[in-house]
Structure 1
Amino acid sequence: MKRLYKLAVLSTAVSAAFFTPATMAKGADSYPSKPITLVVPYAAGGTTDLIGRALGASLSKQLGQTIVVENKPGAAGSMGANEMVNTKPDGYKLALTPVGIFRQPYLQKTRYDPVKDLSYIAAFASYDFALGVDANSPYKTLDDLLKHAKEKPRELTISSPGRYSGNHVAIVELAKEAGVQVTHVPYKSDSEAIGALMGGHLDAVMSTNVIIPFMESGKVRVLGVAAEKRPEAFADIPTLTESGYSVVIPSPLGIAGPKGLPQEIVEKLDLAVKAAMEDPDFLKVIKDYGVRTYYMDNKAYTQFAIENFENEKDVIERMGDE
């Protein structure tokens, strides 16, 4: 932790050498004076893309400039962070930053370092991970499901949209907490996994908020949510902690710029994000997709990034070959 903190301080010091107080103040006063590009590290049309576009529309109102969304899918949602490495720190190119960017450097070589190469502006939303079964499943409760897993190790199949996704982490952590062994079946997306569940090819899925329409229509039964407290969209569903398993998997979605982004610009953008969270149009999109608003200002988000990057190493080690 101390090492990471020193890295963050060093990064700030290097940035300061290039931006004097007078330069920063002048830049912040006139900023923004042209359109801003927001890199969304997922394909167009998905939940994160639609939320990113809604945020961009609201930021456009707050800042008086057009926000141009640029989709760059791939690399487990880390393409936005990659893009920031060679981006000029003037605030005209930013990126959505999902929590997976802190895990990816431990899984493969990345162009970016989450602590040294990004200026964290604010977090504004959070996904939740819900454990669901088909409506016709014999498992009525979480205890029913885990009882089967204890009696027949590895027989129970649970899906996620890929190895080392937040969903996968939630599966592994729950299995370890419950002292059971399950078989993880990775799919390409939550939607594909839910389709396989309803087709009788799986026992359960650990899904993001994509599961909500299936839950509301009665096609899927949600047994628990890996959240600290019950999210509004899952108000009638117990958290895994309530069920006796201390599994809380935070998944905030935020916005960041390249290293060296002047603090005055960071704070102006932070205030615009905070204002967006009171924008009825933005809140409607968030609610429509069952995603929670979750605000962290630039200081809190930066601290979260430092701590989460360190913690992810332990998470990966605990997962092993699961």
Structure 2
Amino acid sequence: MSPMSMNRRCFTALAGTTALAAPMVAAGVARGQARWKPEKPITIYNPFAAGGVTDVHMRLLAEAVGKILGQQIIVDVKPGAAGTLAPAMLLNAKPDGYTLAVMSINTLRYPHYQQTSWNPLTDFTYITGLSGYTMGIVVRSDSPWKTFQDMIAAGKKDPDKYNYGTSGVGGTGQLMMIEVEQATGAKFTHVPYKGGAEWMQALMSGEIQFIADAAQWAPFVDDGKCRILAFATEKRIPRYPDVPTMIELGVNVVGQSPYGLLGPKGMPPEIVNTLHEAFKQASAEPKVTEYLAKFIQVPWDKNPADFRAFAEKYYAEVKPLLIKAGLAKP
């Protein structure tokens, strides 16, 4: 199931289990599982822009996990290479649990259209899923486009005249729009940015006419500064019940964009399991779920085996889409 299709009731369910989650790591020891006890700070390389939603999410998790494991968790921002620089930095790291990285979905796309020094399926240890973005099309509240159909009509009448912003070339936002263009015949100009703070500023200043990306725009919508034209989700979002999905509007597009935590290949199971349980426990903290809820995100809990299985499946399935989009060769 796509994380975008998860019902936001997940937040309530997870928040309600916070009290039960507290002894989770200790319970692993009771079941006979070895528990790893870190003896120095742990560094997590983060490929997302500083101050963005994911960066704040990781820092909230780092604070909570630091208390659980009794060691400081350092979040080190390493943007670049379409969000794949952070995982690439694990190639020379020891598999001792002290160097980790956030993996964006782009890590499973990038090797299809760009030569890399790493293989996403053989060079990393999959630790845990963390969260997933909700993708949509958003304009300023004073935009003449009142509906998704208005936007498409404008893109047909004046091809490439109107600009849209995303978080990068080859990312979910651009792939989503390539599919929209191919399905409708409209044409827009893509403008990539480093993150949500940049493309929100660009939208509000008129540099771009719309955003096709994750819901870092949600607070602007709630404040009346922006308007959602459509969601790239399988079902409507309960928080915005009147906003249709692209599927409802005849464009079969779903933006899939989860992220998780990786380590260097060859990490011992006791380290992997301890980290997974610690992050799972931290993800249930009310301040974490409340923060994610502001941006229509849900926790995406994947144990190491399920996370790897997702990666292997997606890595194979996404190539035809990238070829269709002209970003990869057959």
Q: Is the 8 A contact 2:36 2:271 kept in 1?
A: no
- Please, which of 205, 209, 212 is the counterpart of residue 203 of structure 1? 209
Cα 1:318–1:261 shift into 2, 3 Å:
same
1:192 match:
198
Between the aligned partners of 1:71 and 1:321, the Cα distance in structure 2 is 26
| 2:132 is equivalent to residue 126 of structure 1 | yes
Q: Note the C-alpha offset of 1:138.
A: 2.0
Matches within 5 A, 1:222-241: 222-231=228-237, 234-241=240-247
Counterpart CA distance in 1 for 2:108 and 2:197 is 24
Question: Within the alignment, does 1:317 sit opposite 2:308 as a pair?
Answer: no
Q: Supply the distance in 1 between the matched residues of 2:236 and 2:302 (Cα, whole angstroms).
A: 19
Distance 1:153 1:290, change over 3 A: same
Q: How many equivalent pairs are there?
A: 297
Q: How far apart are the structure 2 equivalents of 1:272 and 1:190?
A: 28
User: How far 1:302 sits from its partner (Å)?
Assistant: 0.4
* 2:87 match: 81
Indicate the RMSD between aligned Cα atoms, in angstroms: 2.5
The secondary structure found in structure 2 opposite 1:68 is strand
- 8 Å CA contact 1:89–1:262 kept in 2: the answer is yes
Distance 1:242 1:117, change over 3 A: same
1:276 aligns with 2:282: yes
Alignment of 1:111-190 (within 5 A): 111-190=117-196
Maintained 8 Å contact 1:231/1:292? no
Per-residue deviation at 1:93?
1.4
Instruction: Supply the AA of the counterpart residue of 1:184.
Output: H
Calculate percent identity across the aligned residue pairs: 35
5+ residue gaps, structure 2 = 1-31
- Shift of the 195–36 alpha-carbon distance from structure 1 to 2, 3 Å rule, reads closer
State the match for 1:15 in structure 2. none
Pair 73,233 (structure 1): closer, same or farther in 2 beyond 3 Å: farther
**CA pair 258-138 structure 1, distance change in 2 beyond 3 A:** same
Residue matched to 2:271 = 265
Could you give the per-residue CA deviations for residues 266-290 of structure 1, whole angstroms, max 9, x where no partner exists?
Answer: 2222222222222123223323444
Provide the C-alpha distance between the structure 2 equivalents of 1:79 and 1:27, rounded to a whole number of angstroms: 33
Contact preservation (8 Å) 1:58, 1:282: no
Unaligned runs of 5+ in 1: 1-25
1:223-261 deviation per Cα after TM superposition (whole angstroms, max 9, x unaligned): 111123334554542222232221111111111111111
Comparing 130-139 with 227-236, greater Cα deviation is found at 227-236
Alpha-carbon shift at residue 70 of structure 1 (Å): 2.1
> Structure 1 residues 192 and 41, CA, compared in 2 at 3 Å: closer, same or farther?
closer
Q: Could you tell me which of 35, 54, 68 is aligned with 1:62?
A: 68
Q: Assess, with a 3 A threshold, how the Cα gap between structure 1 residues 181 and 100 changes in structure 2: closer, same or farther.
A: same
Inter-partner Cα distance in structure 2 for 1:231 and 1:297: 26
Check if 1:306 corresponds to 2:320. no
